[in-house]
Structure 1
Amino acid sequence: MPLCRNLFLQFLTYGFTTLTAATGVVAQAELPRGESFVDDFDSFDSSIWGVSDGWVNGDWQNCQWSRDAMNVQNGMLHLQFAAQATDNRDYVCGEIQSRKVYGYGTYEARYRTAKGSGLNAAFFTYIGPHHGQPHDEIDFEVLTRDTSMVSLNTYVSSEPNNGKRVRLPQDSDMSFITYSFVWSEEGITWYVDGEKVHETAAGTPLPTHEQKIYASFWGSDSFPNWMGPFDPPAKALTMEVDWIAFTAEGEDCQFPESVVCTLD
């Protein structure tokens, strides 16, 4: 199954007016360009983030995005996958998405996942047809059936490139891990806990459109070969996000934990 490719089928199948009213998401021409930021989630900053709420992305997704599956407490963003009946599904799941788009620079998040088959804990950027642009995307995805690995990928005009699974320094459900990628006109380089783990190959198509930033925790019982057979959790599972940051290309390191400090 292509990584995250179908995650946004809603943008192709839902009406523009309906989605705009429900989510506050607007066309690319209307999306403002974001500047460098560091969000340590001491509170929920609605000037940076919107919350996905009240829809599913397709028949294959077994949870409905819900504001109930997102909260900020004790300096942490919590995105949950939990049993809760809705009009569409038996489970709810959590996602935040930036209100602005971002271009070349360094994207970083520090988070800890739960463990469970059929679930995906993701930090990524995306822009697509709903925003009036081709589908461009850059991914970190922890398929939590195997918390020792993370999947990396890009999409350029809906075509996958540079996919790779890499081993994590420790299981993602046991400790917080920092996931970073640097995106420039020349290429993309991925880092885990400050160590380079992957880069785009020379001559590979690269994303060129400014993108929104997402963090999400969702499930499916439709892709056992990719995400593993869905195992209904006995209790609510949580992806804990310590911080998310963006540093625009050419700007100085904003905080000591940033990979930008080691690249300057």
Structure 2
Amino acid sequence: MNMLMNFRRNMTAVLTAGTLLCGLLLPIQASAADVAFNEPLNGTNPNLFYTSDGWGNGPDFGVGWKAANQEFSNGIMALRLDKAGCPASCSGKNYASAEYATNVKYGYGRVEARLKAAKGTGLVTSLFTYSGPGTVTSNDEIDIEILGKDTTKMETNYFTNGVGQHSTIINLGFDASLDFHNYAFEWSPTSIKWYVDGQLVHTENGSRGALPTSPGHIMVNLWSGAGPAEIWTGKFNYPGTPVRAYYDWIKFTPAN
């Protein structure tokens, strides 16, 4: 019996030490959801995503979000920007467009999508995470944005507690509005790494400002700049027919 009790005490000590060591070696997962997904975008998936509808963002955005502006065809999701019924049915905005976001927030891991950007001065095609306000931190965000005024470039950025000013312009070497390409970022406690078609194109390690720590909704949208944002996006002039950004799939892979 004494030998059994000693064995149990020794094993408890080993397991406790092992648990502590794992806690030191592995990053703390900031995620509210750490389950991988691969969304093929064959249609709406309310178990995983919601479609913004009936509201608009602040003065930087020239669009109101409408579920009717989200389209699916042959395994491709299109976000359509138009002016049907605006501004009365577009939350007071001059245009309507679409936004798709996960129901829950995700933490450290790889976010990626295959997309074809919209072309036209004033437009922004995006893939990003957004935490929203929180009790400890607010407005943490990681961005991939392709501006319609020059679709041969991609802009990376991140926000921590609402503080940005970390943007970097990446020359893609192709026109993102002409074909589908894979865009991704990997977020860890020590870095954010951006990829295009599997190639690493930019890394942030916190040297320009603290990295985000709050999990965020994974989101895609198409919008036109307005007000103060026009300095960045350029002024959008509606071409007379709807404009679309296209998405083939969206994936998330949690960190180990």
Residue 178 of structure 1, aligned match among 169, 182, 190: 182
Match of residue 127 from structure 1: 131
TM norm structure 2: 0.81
Between the aligned partners of 2:213 and 2:124, the Cα distance in structure 1 is 26
Match of residue 73 from structure 1: 73
Between the aligned partners of 1:116 and 1:240, the Cα distance in structure 2 is 14
Between the aligned partners of 1:165 and 1:97, the Cα distance in structure 2 is 25
Between the aligned partners of 2:137 and 2:122, the Cα distance in structure 1 is 30
SS at match of 2:164: strand
Are the aligned partners of 2:118 and 2:124 in contact in 1 as well (CA < 8 Å)?
no
SS at match of 2:252: strand
> What are the Cα deviations for residues 174-223 of structure 1, in whole angstroms up to 9, with x where unaligned?
11111111111111110111111110135441111111100000112323
Between the aligned partners of 2:173 and 2:35, the Cα distance in structure 1 is 31
Are the aligned partners of 2:36 and 2:252 in contact in 1 as well (CA < 8 Å)?
yes
Shift of 1:164: 0.1
2:94 pairs with 1:90: yes
Between the aligned partners of 1:184 and 1:169, the Cα distance in structure 2 is 27
Between the aligned partners of 2:203 and 2:55, the Cα distance in structure 1 is 34
Shift of 1:105: 0.6
Q: Letter of the aligned partner of 1:179 in structure 2?
A: Y
Match of residue 207 from structure 1: 212
Between the aligned partners of 2:196 and 2:233, the Cα distance in structure 1 is 21
Between the aligned partners of 1:63 and 1:202, the Cα distance in structure 2 is 33
TM norm structure 1: 0.79
Q: Count the aligned residue pairs.
A: 220
Residue 163 of structure 1, aligned match among 167, 174, 182: 167
SS at match of 1:89: coil
2:137 pairs with 1:137: no
**4+ residue segments displaced more than 3 Å:** 130-133, 201-204
Structure 2 stretches lacking a partner, 5+ long? 1-30
Match of residue 242 from structure 2: 236
Are the aligned partners of 1:67 and 1:94 in contact in 2 as well (CA < 8 Å)?
yes
Match of residue 103 from structure 1: 107
Match of residue 26 from structure 2: none
Question: Residue 60 and residue 85 in structure 1: after superposition, are their counterparts in 2 closer, same or farther (change >3 A)?
Answer: farther
Between the aligned partners of 1:85 and 1:119, the Cα distance in structure 2 is 20
Match of residue 253 from structure 1: none
Shift of 1:130: 6.7
Question: Residue 243 and residue 152 in structure 1: after superposition, are their counterparts in 2 closer, same or farther (change >3 A)?
Answer: same
If you compute each CA radius of gyration, which structure gives the higher value, 1 or 2?
2
Match of residue 43 from structure 2: 43
Between the aligned partners of 1:32 and 1:198, the Cα distance in structure 2 is 26
Deviates more, 1:200-209 or 1:112-121: 200-209
Match of residue 3 from structure 2: none
Between the aligned partners of 1:219 and 1:208, the Cα distance in structure 2 is 29
Question: Residue 82 and residue 46 in structure 1: after superposition, are their counterparts in 2 closer, same or farther (change >3 A)?
Answer: same
Q: Letter of the aligned partner of 1:126 in structure 2?
A: Y
> What are the Cα deviations for residues 87-125 of structure 1, in whole angstroms up to 9, with x where unaligned?
213321110111011011111011001211111111000
Q: Letter of the aligned partner of 2:68 in structure 1?
A: D
Are the aligned partners of 2:131 and 2:140 in contact in 1 as well (CA < 8 Å)?
yes
Shift of 1:233: 2.1
Between the aligned partners of 1:103 and 1:247, the Cα distance in structure 2 is 10
Shift of 1:132: 7.4
Between the aligned partners of 2:61 and 2:136, the Cα distance in structure 1 is 24
Match of residue 156 from structure 2: 152
